[in-house]
A and B are shown apart, each in its own frame.
Chain A
Amino acid sequence: MLSDYHFIGVFVLVAIAFPFLALGIAWLLRPKKPNPVKTAIYECGLETIGDAWVRFRAQYYIYALIFVAFDVEAVFLFPWAVAYHRVGLWALAEVFLFLGILTIGLVYAWRKGALRWQ
């Protein structure tokens, strides 16, 4: 099992090396003449006011929370799907229950207006 992953390990190393190689070649070839106008933040010709590092809308967190619920569910469902043919009909009933609770969560969020952009 674990021996399957030596290929993945080599792949990770090569995949990390690839962008470094490409950026390195570009670093050797490209001109380097920065000036203040060139390195200004691009904002369609206007002068930038303040940082972009600001607090952002709470709405994004609500979407993220719903996502976390469904993503964790997916982690549980993958082993269920693989082992499904080996377990009896109870597995189906249990997953009905599991998905039902999740669906209630989604419906609740929906009714509360969490999915409405405002």
Chain B
Amino acid sequence: MGFWNFVLNFWTELGAWVGNVLSGWGLPPWAVNLIADVLGVLVLVVIGVAAVLIFTPMERKVIARMQDRPGPNRVWPYGLLQAIPDAIKMLTKEDIVPEKADRQLHMLAPILVVIPSLLVYAVLPWGPRIIGQDLNVGVLYIVAISTIHILAVLIAAWGSDNKFALLSAFRVVNQLLAYEVPMILSILAVVLFTKTMSTQGIVEAQTLPYFLVMPIAGFVFLVCALAETNRSPNDLLEADSELVAGYMVEYSGMKFAMFFIAEYVNMFASAILLSTLFLGGYKFFGLENAAPVLTPFIVFGKASFVIFLMLWFRATFPRMRFDHLVGFSWKFLVPLSLVNLILAGIAVKIPVADPRWEPWVQGGVMAIASLVIIAATAWILNRTARKLEGAPALKRIVAAER
């Protein structure tokens, strides 16, 4: 039994073993803590950076398949190791700083963009007690840290003294600010149900995946995750047909790679966050209790599914126009998520005699109310569209922009 117990709880056993070895060396407790912290941090950073190596080939292959072309297929096997020669190329490329650029800011931006994207991994849960640090303000921490990204984008554009870059940065800042609000509001609806901000607690409280309980919040969060990571159809920052490559146009070599790494690390983090908040995190039909060793793979599988969705969106939807994009957030997502938040507030207050039935009754009420709201929204949108059907094109455009 001892052997199976060890295998099934491999990650927690590993952590305990490292702790024992370190105290066995006769180190004081603070040094043991420090070394354990450093090891944990290094593992999380390596996971984050490895995500870049995994998801860039995945993105290129998946999109290639959707667009009916082979994609990268030279580097063995099937072009799946394409990321490694790319990394070497980035590492050995010359770093070009434009002569009129503000050198300090130009240097600071790629550093500042990577730091918050990695810091988010500190509170993402990989399994029961398999987490960097289970902060009691976990989600708030994620929201707060990921906002630093906006600052880095603006610094990058301002530091390069390039008009395209600055134009792109203004768009990005506006877009990120607009999509931050509905994202926070949909996270709040989840927090209302779980009664805790700890990411671990949120997973533990999910008897049903919250995507079924509150589809509105899940949908809003998915759209916002696409916008916050600047993925297509919201990739206005690098609309290559109008702005050359976005705010990082003046960056080359490793500095460009920093932006690239940050984008994929962010994408993976928000995919994990979405699966934590709405898809049940590391839970998978009781498998997390039977074999805790599998939980990181469950999380990885769910996050990969979310990223596949993101790639699917990119291959399917055309890029949105800038003012439509910002308007979509303020005029559609914000009111919708406010309604959803109020619904959640009412649903949580429904008195249930037996605490075992509480999540089912409250979740069921929430799900039905959400469906009603979705139907009402669809009806209103349809009616507005039908009213304008016969109108001349100009009138329709004016109405859409109001």
Contacts of A96 in B (CB 8 A): 342
Residues A56 and B135 in contact, CB atoms below 8 Å apart: no
Q: Is there an interface contact between A26 and B122, defined as CB atoms closer than 8 Å?
A: no
Closest partner residue, chain B, to A1 (CB atom): B136
A41: which B residues are within 8 A, CB to CB? 98, 100, 160-162, 250
Per-residue interface assignment for chain B, residues 66 to 108, with 1 indicating a CB less than 8 Å from any chain A CB and 0 otherwise: 0000000000000000000000001111111111100000000
Using Cβ atoms and an 8 Å threshold, which residues of chain A touch B250? Answer: 41-42
B334 in the interface, Cβ–Cβ < 8 Å? yes
Q: Tell whether A52 pairs with B135 under 8 Å between CB atoms, given A78-B140, A117-B327.
A: no
Indicate whether A51 sits within 8 Å of B100 (C-beta atoms), given known contacts A10-B38, A26-B253, A103-B338: yes
A108 within 8 A of B: no
Query: B345 and A84: CB pair below 8 A?
Result: yes
Contact of A39 among B92, B96, B174, B326 (CB under 8 A): B96
- Chain A residues near B97 (CB, 8 Å)? 34, 39
- Among A23, A40, A54, A81, the most chain B Cβ lie within 10 Å of the Cβ of A81
B165 interface hit (Cβ, 8 Å): yes
- B150-189 to A contact mask, C-beta < 8 Å, 1/0: 0000000010111111100010011001101100110010
B342 touches A99 (CB 8 A): yes
- The residues of B that contact A15 with a CB separation of less than 8 Å are 45, 114-115, 118-119
- Please report the number of residue pairs spanning A and B whose Cβ atoms sit closer than 8 angstroms: 208
Stretch in B192-200, B269-277, B287-295, B368-376 touching the partner: B192-200
B166 touches A14 (CB 8 A): no
Q: B330 within 8 Å of A by Cβ?
A: yes
Docked pose: A89 CA to B346 CA in angstroms: 9
The interface residues of chain A lying within 8 Å CB-to-CB of B359 are none
> Which B residue sits closest to A44, measured CB to CB?
B244
Contact B181 A67 (CB under 8 A): yes
Q: Is A4 an interface residue (CB 8 A)?
A: yes
Chain A residues whose CB sits within 8 angstroms of the CB of B40 once the complex forms? 7
Q: Which of A42, A78, A103 contacts B244 (CB 8 A)?
A: A42
Number of interface residues of B (CB under 8 A): 83
Name the prevailing secondary structure of the A interface residues: helix
Asked, given contacts A14-B45, A18-B114, A60-B170, whether A71 binds B181 with beta carbons under 8 Å apart, the answer is yes
Instruction: State whether B42 touches A92 (Cβ < 8 A).
Output: no
| B255 within 8 A of partner (CB) | yes
> Given B118, B330, B401, which contacts A106 in the complex, CB threshold below 8 Å?
B330
A selection of 28 A-B contacts at a CB cut-off of 8 Å is: A7-B41, A12-B115, A22-B258, A26-B93, A26-B257, A27-B95, A29-B92, A30-B253, A31-B92, A32-B94, A34-B96, A39-B96, A39-B99, A41-B98, A42-B249, A43-B164, A57-B170, A63-B326, A63-B330, A64-B177, A66-B330, A70-B334, A81-B192, A82-B195, A106-B335, A117-B322, A117-B326, A117-B401
Besides A48-B100, A70-B334, 11 more A-B contacts (Cβ < 8 Å) are: A7-B122, A15-B114, A15-B115, A23-B110, A27-B95, A30-B254, A41-B100, A63-B330, A70-B184, A84-B348, A89-B349
The residues of B with any CB-CB pair to A shorter than 8 Å are 33-34, 37-38, 40-42, 44-45, 90-100, 110-111, 114-115, 118-119, 121-122, 132-136, 140, 143, 158, 160-166, 170, 173-174, 177-178, 180-181, 184-185, 188, 191-192, 195-197, 244, 249-250, 253-255, 257-258, 322-323, 326-327, 330-331, 334-335, 338, 341-342, 345-346, 348-349, 401-402
